[in-house]
Amino acid sequence: MSMHPTIHFATLRAPLRRWRPSPSARWTCIGALAIPLWATWPTLALRTRELPIFEVLSIAYLVGWLTLNALERARARTTETSAVLGDSATSVPRIASAWQSRIPALMFAIGVAGSAALFVFATNYIAAAEANLISYLWPGMIAAFGGMLGIFRLRTRQVMGIALGFVGAFIVMRGGSLSFSYPGMGLALLSGALWAAYCVYRLKWPAAPRSILAQGCAMSGALCAALHFLGEPTVMPTVGIAAGAITIGIIPTALGNFLWDQGFRRGDSKLLAVMAYATPLCSALLLSFLGMESLTWNLLIGAVVIAVAGMLSRTA
């Protein structure tokens, strides 16, 4: 009789592997975090409405510049985030000249501050809700600009998702009758186009110094300060109003744009563009939660339409 133990190979099992999302999916989730942060803008804007708009923006961009500088210093001290998220590109390609290193920051300043300025000018001709709706064509503009530059190709269902996302945003923001002022509509459309152009620029030319957003906020603050002193009276803010303006600089301006820039370049940019239509929905829900706006069927129907648009736009 053999004294060797019998080995049953059938009992051997491969260890179970834990499911982990792809790096692209994780970056997409990071970019999506910008949406609820951007959605705080209307609530905070109501808090600061006693101040001239460009005075508020000057304070916000100054605080955004300081916050982004702090974020970039923290990011430079450690590569833990890159390791956890599976990003092997921890270094930033060197830019040829000092002038060229300022171009990405200038593009961001034009995109964020130029868009805000044109939106304000548009409200001199049309209602703010209407200007907001027209400027929210920018996700569709990203698809159009990106397609023309050959950055990505859109499937039929993704085109349908973009169109449906705008329908959902229209349902959420619809209120009152629309006015047809061509200067106002043109300014609002250009407002959205500037931000879409910046987003596509970042996809086409992602190499940039790490301080691009901080430098862009500094340029934006200078532009808004110039517009303020040229056309607005200076009002000394109370502590509460100043806190609101500072919060605008930290949450939607610095953190929101930082997360969007990271996720949009490294994640599913097409899906994120459609998800951005949820920003006015999140804004309305936040205002409703704080008792500043009532829940309506428009919000509920718009939420369903935007959710369907997001499902249609998934890459996988």
| Buried-state track 265-287, b at ≥16 Cβ within 10 A, e below 16 | ebbbbbbbbbbbbbbbbbbbbbb
What is the Cα–Cα distance from 103 to 216, expressed in whole angstroms? 9
Of residues 278, 250, 288, the one with CA closest to residue 62? 250
What is the Cα–Cα distance from 94 to 99, expressed in whole angstroms? 13
Question: For position 285, what pLDDT does the model report?
Answer: 85
Report whether 82 contacts 90 (CB < 8 A): yes
Question: For position 91, what pLDDT does the model report?
Answer: 45
**Burial class, 15, CB count within 10 angstroms (exposed 0-12 / middle 13-18 / buried 19+):** exposed
pLDDT by residue for the chain (316 residues), tens only, comes to 445 555 444 444 545 455 455 788 899 999 999 999 999 998 898 889 899 999 999 999 999 999 999 888 877 776 554 444 454 444 444 444 555 667 888 999 999 999 999 998 988 888 777 788 788 888 888 888 888 888 877 778 778 888 888 888 888 776 655 667 888 889 989 999 999 999 999 888 776 666 789 999 999 999 999 999 998 999 999 999 999 999 999 999 999 999 999 899 888 888 898 888 888 888 888 888 888 777 777 777 887 888 888 777 665 4
Can you give the chain as a three-state secondary structure string?
CCCCCCCCHHHCCCCCCCCCCCHHHHHHHHHHCHHHHHCCHHHHHHHCCCCCHHHHHHHHHHHHHHHHHHHHHHHHHCCHHHHHCCCCCCCCCCCCCHHHHHHHHHHHHHHHHHHHHHHHHHCCCCCHHHHHHHHCCHHHHHHHHHHHCCCCCCCHHHHHHHHHHHHHHHHHHCCCCCCCCHHHHHHHHHHHHHHHHHHHHHHHCCCCCCCHHHHHHHHHHHHHHHHHHHHCCCCCCCHHHHHHHHHHHHHHHHHHHHHHHHHHHHCCHHHHHHHCCHHHHHHHHHHHHCCCCCCCHHHHHHHHHHHHHHHHCCCC
Residue 85 neighbours by CB distance under 10 Å: 14
The C-alpha angle with vertex 48 and arms to 284 and 74, in degrees rounded to 5, equals 85
Question: For position 1, what pLDDT does the model report?
Answer: 44
Residue 259 neighbours by CB distance under 10 Å: 20
Of residues 241, 242, 297, the one with CA closest to residue 63? 242
Is the alpha carbon torsion for 279, 282, 286, 291 positive or negative?
positive
Residue 161 neighbours by CB distance under 10 Å: 28
Question: For position 56, what pLDDT does the model report?
Answer: 94
Of residues 27, 30, 33, 26, the one with CA closest to residue 251? 33
